[in-house]
Amino acid sequence: MANAERSPDEAAATSDGAALARGWLESAPFVAHLGIRLQEMEPGRAVLAMPFSDSLPTIGDVVHGGAISSLVDTAAATAAWSGAQVPERPRASTIGLTVDFLAPTRGQGVTADARVVRRGGTGLCVCEVSVAADDGTRVALALVTYQL
């Protein structure tokens, strides 16, 4: 059924990218495995946190870069969807992901602040993501291209 044939409530529910992102975050097994939680979301921005756990270190108490990269990817996807209209058949994929690590994260959680830098007409969305440790140290900076 096309949006024009749906009730206003049904059309709003299916066109709200923020609702889609929230539903995805609540139901994705890998997101749950990492303990990622949504802290803030507004159009074009999302803040997600990943608490420290014994499964995250690579050596000693240093949080694995792959875990931080997964947080970056998840935060960028959430920011991209947060200000988007959901198409009738939503599909999405990370197109590019570049993470520069600025400092090790030792024995603490991290928070990613993702912002849409540019939204293209073809569904391409470029996001910048800054990651900080719980003590406020900036530990990574990333650029993510996401296809809605």
- pLDDT digit string (tens) for 118-129? 998 888 999 999
Q: Which two tokens stand for residue 18?
A: 């923020």
- Residue 15, Cα to own-chain centre: how many angstroms? 19
Position 92 scores a pLDDT of 84
Return the CATH number at 34. 3.10.129.10
> pLDDT grade, residue 10 (50/70/90)?
very low
Q: From CA 63, how far away is CA 67, in angstroms rounded? A: 7
What's the domain range around 107? 3-147
Q: From CA 48, how far away is CA 41, in angstroms rounded? A: 9
What are the tens digits of pLDDT across the range 24-81? 999 999 999 999 999 999 999 999 999 999 999 999 999 999 999 999 999 999 999 9
Q: From CA 4, how far away is CA 73, in angstroms rounded? A: 33
Position 15 scores a pLDDT of 65
User: Is 30 within 8 Å of 71 (Cβ atoms)?
Assistant: no
Overall domain count for the chain: 1
- Tokens 């998840």 correspond to what residue? 74
pTM of the model: 0.87
